[in-house]
Structures are given as structure tokens and as C-alpha cells.
Structure 1
Amino acid sequence: MKKFLAITLGILTAIGGFVDIGDMVANSEAGSRFGMSLAWVVLVGVLGICVYAEMAGRVAAVSGRPVFDLVRERLGPRVGLLNLAGSYLVTVLTLGAEIGGVALAVQLATSVHYLLVVPVAAFVCWVVLWRVRFETMERVFGLLGLTLVVFVVALLKLPTDWAQLWDQARTPAPAGQENWGTYAFAGVALFAAAMTPYEVFFFSSGGVEERWTTRDLNVSRANVFVGFPLGGLLSLALMATAAVVYHPLDMRLEDLGQTALPVAMALGKLGLAVAILGFFAATFGAALETGLSAGYTVAQYFGWSWGKRLRPRDAARFHVVVLVSVLLGTAALATTIDPVLLTETTLVLSAVVLPLTYLPILVVANDRQYLGEHVNGRLGNTLGVLYLGVILVVAAAAIPLTIMTGMGG
């Protein structure tokens, strides 16, 4: 059990990154519109985040410092500031979307309009960020998020034509009324969701929170290679259940209730209740993750004391940034923008800023001044450079595809 609990950081990071409010709907919408023909993007994204999260975790374990801290020191304050501006904007907007996702989950359970729940959800999120220990957060919400495995169970219970799903998966092309533009936009969004910048910042900072050293390199790798593939599996299950139920009807999904419907069809009210619990845990965990990430990046850039391992009064500026970030995210929801649309917008912005995050990580992971003998090997650099090329293509394509397709419409 102790060894299992040691990988809950990876589970929380993966579920918060792969299965947040936007991904729940985005994966389900991809399944309904394209079947399983975009499953390969999820697999590519899982491998990519594993490659770079392993670097980030190794940097934290060997140097005792988080990635963002070293990026500023290694590449200078100007590059660090550019990285900070891009990542903070995306993280705060995502934080707002996750708070909205929590409110939508409560709405599904109670029928209370989500906008009435938003202030309560934001307040509770801030209280947890302020008062609850880091290890408690990661274990409670990381493990509760595993209830989303109900989508895997539902897929097994539905009248699934496995041969047809496999045929869709090995045919990476749009079908029916879809075109290559909308297919490419959906692929960019799914890839950006898997590689969201706050994931690696949260993961490396979490390693420092847990006081990883070189003796914990195996723990770091277990977090990466168990947690992130698990998040990818849940994403594929969301996509597959929608492909089974909605794709034959040529339906398009727009809300969280439609995402949960296949589970209700397969497992009844009990299954639906478990799915809603999973939605709540995943979105609340993602809200905690993004809230902390916002505080981590700002505090680390300016050299302030930071982290949950310190008492709030000993890291006051860090906690002020977290509070302000929660307020800014809530203010975005006060415009009445749909949380799902807000998250899809942040995925486009995330795709644009991906190079600012992952190029510096690759540079730091090759610096012997920080890592000594633990710098990247040949395989790590080959995969890192290969994925950096993919990231540059995705970043260049994101805005043109958004304009050309009208946000995937």
C-alpha cells in the first residue's frame, strides 16, 4: 500500500491533465464525430508527456529544485518571463474552467444551476489549497479520480463492436460529413490537452514538495509511467463509449450530461452516480493542480518562498498568488462563458505556448551543472527532439486551424 500511495502524485497529475472538464467533453466529442480515428493522438500525447515529465521529475529529484526555477536561472529572466506570461495565462483560464467543471458536476447531481455553485466551488477550492496538506490532496483526489474507470466498465457492458472500433482506430481520417480541417483541429486540441504546460510544472514542484532525491528516481519514474498512461486509458474509454453510442447516430456532444449518458445506459443509476463522482473528483483535483501551478510558477520566477510544505505565513506571497488566481478564474466564469468552451479555448492557447515550456525543459535536462551523470541519454534526447518537432508543428497550426474551422465547428 505504501508503494502504491507513492505514485498518487502521478495519478493526480495525469487525471488533472488528461481528464479535466474540457477533455471529458473533447474526448467524447471526438468519439461521437470521428469514432476512434483520433485515438492515435491520445497515444502520441501520452508518450510525449511521459518523455518530458520523466525529465522534469528527474530534474527535481537530482537538483532538489523545480523545473521552472531552473529555466529562469539557466535561460535568463527574459525567457523565463515570456514562459511565465504564457503559462500563467493558460493556467488561470484552465483553473476557471475546472471550477466551472466542479459546478457542472454538482449541477448534474442536484439540478442546481452551475453558476450558483461556482462561488461556493471556488471558495472550497481555495480553502483546500490554503489549509490541506499536499500529500492529503494528491492521495484523496488522485484516488477518487480513479472512479472514472466506470467508463471502462461501461464500455465492456455496452453492445460494443470491437472489430469496428479497431477498424476506426487504424483508419486515421475523417469520416462522413467531417473534413480534414475539423479532423486536424480536433487532433491539435487532443494533443495540447495531453501536453498542457501546467502538468510538468506541477509534477516537478510536487516532487520537491515530497522531498525527492536521487534515491527517489524510481518513484518519480513509477509516477510517470503508471500515472500518465492511466490518464490516457481513461481518455480513450471516454472516446470509445461515445464512439459506440453516438457515432452511429452522427450526433455532436455539447455538455457533461451527454458525456455521462453512455455510463447510465450501460450501468444504470448507480453507474451514473459513480461517473458524476468521478467528474467531481477529476475537475476538483484539476482545479487544485492548476491553482498550485499558478502559485508555483510566479513564486519560483521571483524567488519567493513557496509550497505546501511551508506554513501559509512563511510562504505568504505564494498563497496570495494562489488566491488571486482563483479569483481571476472565477471572474472568467462570471462572464457566463460556458466552462467547456472556456477549456477548449485554453487548449488552443496551450498549443501555441507549448514550445515555451518544453524546449527549456529539454535544455535543462541536458545540463550537467544541474544533473551531473543523470543528464538525458541518447534515447531521451532522441524522443525529446522528435516531440519538440511535433510541438512546433502543433503550435504553428493551432491558430490557423481555429480560424479556418471556427473552433472546430
Structure 2
Amino acid sequence: MKRLLAVTLGILTAIGGFVDIGDLVASSLVGARYGFALVWMLLLGLVGICVYAEMAGRVAAVSGRPTFDLVRERLGPRVGLANLTASLLVTLLTLAAELAGVALAVELVSAVPYLLWVPAAGLLVWLVIWRVRFETMERIFGLLGLVLIVFIVAVWRLSPDWGDVLHQVTAPKVPADEPVPTYLYYAIALFSSAMTPYEVFFFSSGGIEERWKATDLATVRINAFIGFPLGGLLALAIMSAAALVLNPAGVSVDHLSQVVLPTSVALGKFGLGLALLGVFAATFGAALETALSSGYTVAQYFGWTWGKSAAPRRAARFHVVVLVALLAGTALILTGLDPVKVTEYSLIFAAVALPLTYLPILVVANDREYMGERANGRLANVMGTVYLVIVLLAAVAALPLMFATKAGQ
């Protein structure tokens, strides 16, 4: 039972990373537009986040120090500040979209316009962060987000031709009527959604909140290699459901209501209700994750006391940053910006920031002064280096593709 509960940090992190509001819509949009032709990129990103999450968690467990603290010390304040600035801006954009996602889920149930729910969503997220213990929070929302398994059930009930599906996955082709740059734009967005910077910051900081030690490396790996793949499986199911229902019908996706439509087709109102509950839990969990990550990164860089495990008086500046981030995210969405577009842009900007996130983690994970005999082995270094090259290529291509395709239009 302890091992089962230990994996909930990875589940919460994975659901926040793979199945937030932007990824819900992006996965469905890609499935509806390209069928199964971009599954390979989702799987590529999944392996990458597992590799680096394990490194970040291992560094936190062995050193007992958070990521930004070590980055600032090892690489200097300028590199750390560049990392902080880039990741914080991306995280704030994502937080705004998550609050909108919570509100959109409630709108689909209540028929009350989502903008009226956004302030309530922000207040509720703050209350949970302020009052609920970290372990309780991660277990409730991590496990509740698993209701999204309804998408897996929906795919099974749709009874696809699995041979044809496997062929599309293993021999992907750009549709004849789709420009190659647009295909690559969405490929980078999917990859970035799997490796968004705040995931590793939240994962490693959460490990310190749970007081991981070098003896807890098995727990670190359970979280990294079970929790994250589970999030990837849910994202894959959402993409597959759209590919099976929306792609043949020629339906394009630009709203949350279209994301959950396949569950209604396959399972009726009961399936739709479960999908909406899962969407609410996933976006709310992601809002918690991004709000806390904002506080974690700033407090760790400046050396402040931080974390939910610290008394609010001792970690006052950390809580102020979290509150300011929530207010900023709420205000951004209340301007009327499309929350889906906000998140899609955040994914592209995240792609640009990926090297600043993962290079320092790879460097610190190899530093025997911090890690001793727990430093990276040959396999971890090979995988880490390969993915560092991939994120560099994604960073270079992201903005030109966004401008060339007019953000995937």
C-alpha cells in the first residue's frame, strides 16, 4: 500500500504535464486532424520526461536540495536567473490556462459562462494550497484524475481495426492536404507538452516536501517510470478517441466540449459525466502544480524558506509568490483571451526554454560532489545527451514554425 500511495506524486505530476487544458485540446486536435500520425512524437516526449524526471528526483533525494538551489550554485546566478525567468513566464501562462480549464469544465455542467467561474477557481486553488497537506493534496487530485481512464474505455468500446491503427502509428504519413511545416509545428507542441519545464521542478520539489532521501530512490523511480507513463497513456487515449470519432467526421477541435465528445459517442451520458469529472480533476491538479511551481522556483533561486511543509509564517514570501501568480493568471484569463490559445503558445515558448531547464539537470546529476556514487551512469548520460540534442533542435525550430504556420492555422 505504501508503494501504491508513493506513486501519487508521479501521477499528479504526469496528469498535470500530459493532461492539462491545453494538452486535452491539443491531443484531440492532433487526433482529429492527423489521426495517429503523431503518436510517435508523444511517445518520444514521454521517454524524455521519464529520463529527466528520474534525474531530477534522484538529485533531490541524494542532495536534499531543490533544483534551482543547485543550479544557481553550480552554474552561477546569471544562468540560474535566465532559467528562472524563462520557466516562470511559461508556468504563469500555463497556470492561467489551467484556471480557465477548471472553469470550462464547470461551465459544461452548469451552462454558466466560464469567465464567471475563473475567480472562484483561483480562490479554490489558493485555499487548497493554503489549507490542505501536500500528501493529501497529491493523493486526492492525482488519483481523482485517473477518472480520465474513461477515454481508454471509450477507445476499447469503439472497436477500432487495431492492425490499421498499428500501421498508422508505425508508418506515419503527413496527410496530402496538410503542409509539412504545420505538421512539424504540432509535433513540437506535443513534444513540449510532455517535457514542460514545471514538471521536473514540481517533481523534485515535491520529493523534498515528502522528505525523500537516498534510501528512497526506489520511490523516485516508481514515480518517474510508472506515474509519467500513466499520464502519457491517458494523453494517447484522448488522441486516439479523437482519431477514431472526430477525424472520420471531419470535426476540428477548438473547445473543451469537442474533446469529451468521443466519450459520449462511445459510452453515452455516463461516460460523458466521467470525462467531465476527470477533466475537472486534471486541470485543477495542474493548476495546483503550476501555482506551487511558481513559488518553488522563485523561492529556491533567492534562497527563501519554501514549501507547504513549512509553517506559513516561515515561508511567507513563498506563499506571497503563489498568491501573486494565481492573481496574475486569473487576471490574464479575465481579459477574454482564448485559454486554449494561451496554452498552445505556452507550449511553444516552453520548447524554446527546454535547453535552459534540462542542461543544468544533466550537469548536476553528473556532479559527484553532490551525488557521490549516485551520479549518472552511462545509460542515463547517453539518454540525457540524446534528448538534450532533441530539445535543442525543438528550441531552434519552435518560433520559426509558429510564425510560418500562423500558430498551426
Structure-1 residue corresponding to 2:366: 366
RMSD of equivalent CA atoms = 0.8
Secondary structure of residue in 2 paired with 1:24: helix
Structure-1 residue corresponding to 2:153: 153
Alignment of 1:320-331 (within 5 A): 320-331=320-331
Cα distance in 1 for partners of 2:57, 2:159 equals: 41
Asked if 1:179 is matched to 2:179, the reply is yes
Structure-2 residue corresponding to 1:64: 64
Task: Look up the equivalent residue of 1:171 and give its one-letter code.
Answer: A
Secondary structure of residue in 1 paired with 2:212: coil
Shift of 1:161: 2.3
Structure 1: state its 5+ residue gaps: none
Structure-2 residue corresponding to 1:405: 405
Structure 2: state its 5+ residue gaps: none
* Residues 15 and 145, structure 1, Cα contact 8 Å, conserved in 2: yes
Asked if 1:215 is matched to 2:215, the reply is yes
Measured against aligned partners, the alpha-carbon deviations of 1:300-350 in whole angstroms (never above 9, x if no partner) come to 000000001111111000000000000111111021011111100100110
Question: Could you state the TM-score of these two structures normalised by the residue count of structure 1?
Answer: 0.99
Task: Look up the equivalent residue of 2:221 and give its one-letter code.
Answer: R
Measured against aligned partners, the alpha-carbon deviations of 1:172-212 in whole angstroms (never above 9, x if no partner) come to 22114212111100000000000000000000000000000
Asked if 1:197 is matched to 2:197, the reply is yes
Structure-2 residue corresponding to 1:125: 125
* Residues 107 and 114, structure 1, Cα contact 8 Å, conserved in 2: yes
Q: Percent identity?
A: 63
Measured against aligned partners, the alpha-carbon deviations of 1:217-262 in whole angstroms (never above 9, x if no partner) come to 0000000000000011001100100000111223211111111010
Structure-2 residue corresponding to 1:103: 103
* Residues 173 and 180, structure 1, Cα contact 8 Å, conserved in 2: no
| Larger mean Cα displacement after TM superposition, 87-96 or 162-171 | 162-171
Cα distance in 1 for partners of 2:298, 2:173 equals: 41
Cα distance in 1 for partners of 2:375, 2:192 equals: 26
Cα distance in 1 for partners of 2:167, 2:248 equals: 14
Question: Could you state the TM-score of these two structures normalised by the residue count of structure 2?
Answer: 0.99
Measured against aligned partners, the alpha-carbon deviations of 1:350-370 in whole angstroms (never above 9, x if no partner) come to 001000000000000000110
* Residues 35 and 165, structure 1, Cα contact 8 Å, conserved in 2: no
Asked if 1:336 is matched to 2:330, the reply is no
Shift of 1:167: 2.0
Alignment of 1:232-247 (within 5 A): 232-247=232-247
Cα distance in 2 for partners of 1:284, 1:386 equals: 33
Secondary structure of residue in 2 paired with 1:306: coil
* Residues 122 and 326, structure 1, Cα contact 8 Å, conserved in 2: yes
Asked if 1:381 is matched to 2:381, the reply is yes
Cα distance in 2 for partners of 1:229, 1:372 equals: 29
| Larger mean Cα displacement after TM superposition, 89-98 or 166-175 | 166-175
Cα distance in 2 for partners of 1:229, 1:302 equals: 33
Cα distance in 2 for partners of 1:288, 1:364 equals: 27
Structure-2 residue corresponding to 1:352: 352
Secondary structure of residue in 2 paired with 1:314: coil
Task: Look up the equivalent residue of 1:303 and give its one-letter code.
Answer: G
Cα distance in 2 for partners of 1:68, 1:148 equals: 32
Cα distance in 2 for partners of 1:249, 1:164 equals: 18
Alignment of 1:168-317 (within 5 A): 168-317=168-317
Shift of 1:158: 1.1
Shift of 1:163: 2.2
Cα distance in 2 for partners of 1:50, 1:201 equals: 13
Secondary structure of residue in 2 paired with 1:313: coil
Shift of 1:291: 0.4
Cα distance in 2 for partners of 1:208, 1:157 equals: 42
Structure-1 residue corresponding to 2:45: 45
Cα distance in 1 for partners of 2:261, 2:278 equals: 14
Structure-2 residue corresponding to 1:390: 390
Measured against aligned partners, the alpha-carbon deviations of 1:40-97 in whole angstroms (never above 9, x if no partner) come to 1111011000000000000000000111110011001111000000000000110000
| Larger mean Cα displacement after TM superposition, 376-385 or 175-184 | 175-184
Aligned residue pairs total 409
Cα distance in 2 for partners of 1:68, 1:54 equals: 16
Cα distance in 2 for partners of 1:342, 1:2 equals: 38
